[in-house]
Structure 1
Amino acid sequence: MKSNESVERFYQLQRLPEANLAGQQVAVKSGHFNVYDVEQLCTTDLAYNRRDFYKISLLTGVYQFNYADRGVRIDQPALIFSNPLVPYSCEVVSEAQTGYLCLFTEDFLVINDRSASLQDSPLFKIGNDPIFFPDETQLETLRQFFRQMLAERDSTYPYKQDLLRNYVNLVIHEALKMQPQTPYYPHQNAASRIVALFTELLERQFPIDSPNRVLKLRTARDFAVCLSVHVNHLNRAVRELTGKTTTVHIAERMISEAKALLQHTDWSVSEIAFSLGFEYPTYFNNFFKKHTGLPPRALRAKKAI
């Protein structure tokens, strides 16, 4: 399915009562958390929007992690921190995998100091090393934290969210005691990987399902930072492999999203402008008209006829 078709399909589905995301949004805004045993994931429904969720994994097995222009083979127990703004792929190499993982939104962990951001954490900060190799003592400590999370997740304790938050913080502090020594190696096909991950990162931001969700990545430099590459390197790779500039790809995807929002939601033009990262509706109007030849209201009025 083409991206613009999937966007339209998404907004059409929102009109169905059973597909309404209101409940999901409340959960996300109040802070969502879940934890899993890796061996049980094959029977677990992971229907989560990956744009929202940070992840901490404690894995045993053989895995291949690939980032934009580098990769790492993991063949010993590892503690891995994943930022939703940093795309990567994980290939499972061994048949046997054990361990745990937890998913959570930023609101779940950041509740006291709203000015703080997980993006600034040394474990989740873009460009930092997210993989650690615990020793036997550390590994058993971490496993115990995850076991406690699993037990509390299914409990009826009224303050279990606070307790779960404390366990996540304990895992984070245990990691801060370690020194990352990840043996990364450069990819020979770095350019094609960078372009593929740029495309994935661009698509990951859509569809926009709430007027309160603001597009975070809007420029080539924004994407380059997330991919840990120089913006000139990103621009050169995208231009060579696709024939279009990074800026053109971003603009085309934003226009596709803007059209879908205008045609399939009742959001005001100001709300759409804000969700797409425009400070003022006038800037959005000029951007939209430049790329479509029509002002946003004209497209909406045309659809209503």
Structure 2
Amino acid sequence: MQKDNLTTLRIETIAQSHKALGLVKPKHPLFSILRFEDMPRVNNDARVRLIFDFFHIVLKKDCPGKLQYGQTPYDFDEGVMSFFAPRQVSILEPGDVLAKSGWLLMIHPDFFRTFPVGKKIKDYAFFDYAVNEALILSEDEEQSIDSLFQHIEKEYHLPIDTYSQDVVLSTVDLLLTYCNRYYNRQFITRKPKHSELLNRVDHVLNESVRNAAEQGLPTVNVLASQMNLSANYLSDCLKHLTGQTAQQYIHEKLIEYAKDILVTTELSVSEIAYQLGFGYPQSFSKLFKSKTNQSPLAFRASFN
């Protein structure tokens, strides 16, 4: 069998990124904003693992091909946004081409380390979403985002003064706030598709709980992997559908399964704990009581 060669390319600075794209040095060492239409067309004929040491905020328009959103492919007729945190791994496939238009904003963590947005950006889960969980913008949303990118671009090309960093970062802060808002809209408008996802989650989770004795306690990462989703995206999706995070949803399923066993069998608490994948019975009892305000034995006794 032929081995699939994969080259790793680590980009530590924004200047290195400009060089790799065939562009002149950035005007600022810690941040840069580019238009896809201004980038040289690069033909890629190899698989490359890309690792960047800085944030990427990307708006793609008029990109060849389709975006796979969950189980549904979408044309790039509307703007599509992706977000990448430092040291995330991206795979560039042979034949991949740049979008015909759009924006690429690169920001090194040192640029906003002492600013409020430096703390806020860590709370935006969409920086850990997978590519197929991108933000698909409506026409009005795209116009709003475009105007913010244009504002950042204008500031980028002005001479640096005392206010430059504040102006750029306040605009980036507003940009991310809008993106967070639009992601919430996307969860709501795609609720029918997400309801199908919830059915799949329940099926996978029920199987995991039934096999927990052999496979161990179900975790968010394992569940997300089985769903072909990132853990953060799955958790955010469940939050919108059920009001619970993925971890809370898993715990609820475990407790419901435990209740059935307690009422319908004479298994001891220890046996039930091990059957559900808990390493220690005390951990199971603690979780059960935190969710029901009763110990497992007290719950069983209430049915006798």
Normalising to structure 2: TM-score of the pair?
A: 0.42
Structure whose alpha-carbon radius of gyration is higher: 2
TM-score by length of 1: 0.42
- Structure with the bigger RCO (C-alpha within 8 Å, sep 6+) is 1
